[in-house]
């Protein structure tokens, strides 16, 4: 499949999630997101108001993370986090499941928590982070199916803070586990255009990355090289 640079940009959630980032770092990250007109900027919950201010008037949505990065907050806390984030202007919610519950076999509890967060999110899209590094294939499949039953918009591989991130095998498995109405997001270790393009062939629709500028500058260079400056496509 072929994509323009603009189409690739709209597949990216620019991540600004490291714990040491200052408010200035957050503002600079939002400026990158606006410059490249990505799908969204994904920020820490405390940074949602700043991000909303920084991207106002652009085509970039604000997303945030819930129960991040371990997923172990009580459900009521995750629900409250979600409601506050939406009230402050977040349009996308990336929640971490309770990995321990899933590994214990309590899929029903995982599903119920996702459902409560989906309700609290309202019109905001909920992306369910599985943290695949800690799961068997059977657990990944169960989590994906629970997320779909609970009304999530996306299933997502990783937080980026676990030992491993997105893999081709996991993405193919996740895509097979859900219907076309649920999208798949890859996150964790996606730092090159080639990696992103390879994952689109598996049906991945969204990518979390902090290497947004590098990826899109590479895409622009390839367009210019192939087209002499005209609106060419990248395979």
Of 118, 122, 66, residue with least CA distance to 97? 66
Catalytic-role residue among 10, 127, 140, 185:
185
Residues 6+ apart with CB under 8 A from 180: none
Of 18, 11, 51, residue with least CA distance to 32? 51
Q: Which two tokens stand for residue 126?
A: 């909920």
H helix or E strand, kind and range, residue 93:
strand 92-96
Residue 212 to residue 206: CA distance in whole angstroms = 12
Active site residue 156: yes
Active site residue 140: no
Q: Taking the chain, what is the end-to-end CA distance rounded to the nearest angstrom? A: 6
Catalytic-role residue among 47, 94, 170, 218:
94
Of 24, 28, 62, 71, residue with least CA distance to 44? 62
Q: Cβ distance 39 to 22 under 8 Å?
A: no
Active site residue 94: yes
Q: Cβ distance 42 to 208 under 8 Å?
A: yes
Catalytic-role residue among 78, 127, 140, 156:
156
Q: Cβ distance 114 to 147 under 8 Å?
A: yes
Kindly tell me the burial class for residue 206, based on how many C-beta atoms sit within 10 Å of its own C-beta (0-12, 13-18, 19 or more). Answer: buried
Q: Which two tokens stand for residue 145?
A: 């199916």
| Catalytic residue set | 94, 156, 185
């Amino acid at each position: 499949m072929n994509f323009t640079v603009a189409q690739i940009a709209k597949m990216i959630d620019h991540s600004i999630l490291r714990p040491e980032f200052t408010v200035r770092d957050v503002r600079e990250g939002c400026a990158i997101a606006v410059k490249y007109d990505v799908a969204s900027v994904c920020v820490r919950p405390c940074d949602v108001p700043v991000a909303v201010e920084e991207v106002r008037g652009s085509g970039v949505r604000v997303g945030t993370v819930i129960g991040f990065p371990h997923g172990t907050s009580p459900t009521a806390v995750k629900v409250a986090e979600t409601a506050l984030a939406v009230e402050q202007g977040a349009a996308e919610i990336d929640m971490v499941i309770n990995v321990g519950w899933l590994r214990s076999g309590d899929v029903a509890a995982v599903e119920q928590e996702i459902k409560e967060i989906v309700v609290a999110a309202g019109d905001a899209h909920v992306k369910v982070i599985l943290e695949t590094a800690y799961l068997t294939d059977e657990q990944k499949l169960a989590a994906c199916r629970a997320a779909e039953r609970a009304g999530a918009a996306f299933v997502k591989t990783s937080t980026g803070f676990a030992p491993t991130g997105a893999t081709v095998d996991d993405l193919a498995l996740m895509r097979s586990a859900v219907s076309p109405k649920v999208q798949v997001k890859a996150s964790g270790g996606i730092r090159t255009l080639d990696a992103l393009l390879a994952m689109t062939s598996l049906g991945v629709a969204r990518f979390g990355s902090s290497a947004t500028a590098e990826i899109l500058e590479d895409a622009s260079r390839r367009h210019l090289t192939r087209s002499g400056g005209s609106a060419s496509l990248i395979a």
